[in-house]
Copies of this chain bind each other. A is one copy, B any other.
Amino acid sequence: MAVSSGPQTGKGSAEAMCPYRLVLEHVTSRWGVLVLIHLLERPHRFSELRRAVGRMGRPVSEKMLAQTLQTLERDGMVLRDAQPVIPPRVDYSLTALGREAAEQVRTLALWTERRMAEVDSARRAYDEART
């Protein structure tokens, strides 16, 4: 929606809805999904995550990655560990809550992948029907 792309990290246009829908939009957002799935595998540093996410899907801007991580951290899904060293080093990992969310999102993503052939054939049928 808009799963625009989805709702976003900010509060944006979603002032008046069930509060949990907001969380749902956070975890299912364009970058939220990818971040959660990658962190489910193992903790990542900022740039590492940026590269990993870029490998599937398209490249993430620093801005959007930071925004996504902040939102997920605020929602209690992601843990941020900033080590006071130079150069800066920050590791991101999942909380227990985040792991539960990530597993569900991954399940849904895998289901979508498995069913892709059916979706494609449905699309061809639909498109052909109006030619």
Give bound CA distance, A125 to B75, whole Å: 10
The contact string, 1 if C-beta is below 8 Å from chain B, for chain A 90-131, is 000000010011001101110111011011111101110000
The contact string, 1 if C-beta is below 8 Å from chain B, for chain A 1-32, is 11111111110111011111101111111111
In angstroms, how far is the closest chain B Cβ from the Cβ of A115? 6
A58 at the interface (CB under 8 A from B): yes
A74 at the interface (CB under 8 A from B): yes
Centre residue among A5, A64, A67, A127 by max chain B CB count within 10 A: A5
Q: Which of B24, B72, B107 contacts A33 (CB 8 A)?
A: B24
Give bound CA distance, A32 to B26, whole Å: 15
In angstroms, how far is the closest chain B Cβ from the Cβ of A70? 8
| Complex interface: chain B residues within 8 A of A75 (CB) | 119, 122-123
The contact string, 1 if C-beta is below 8 Å from chain B, for chain A 29-58, is 111110100000000000000000000111
Task: List 24 A-B residue pairs with CB atoms under 8 Å apart, sorted by A's residue number.
Answer: A1-B5, A1-B6, A1-B8, A1-B30, A1-B68, A2-B9, A3-B6, A4-B6, A4-B9, A4-B10, A5-B12, A5-B25, A6-B8, A14-B30, A17-B57, A20-B116, A23-B115, A24-B108, A28-B108, A76-B122, A76-B125, A76-B126, A104-B104, A104-B107
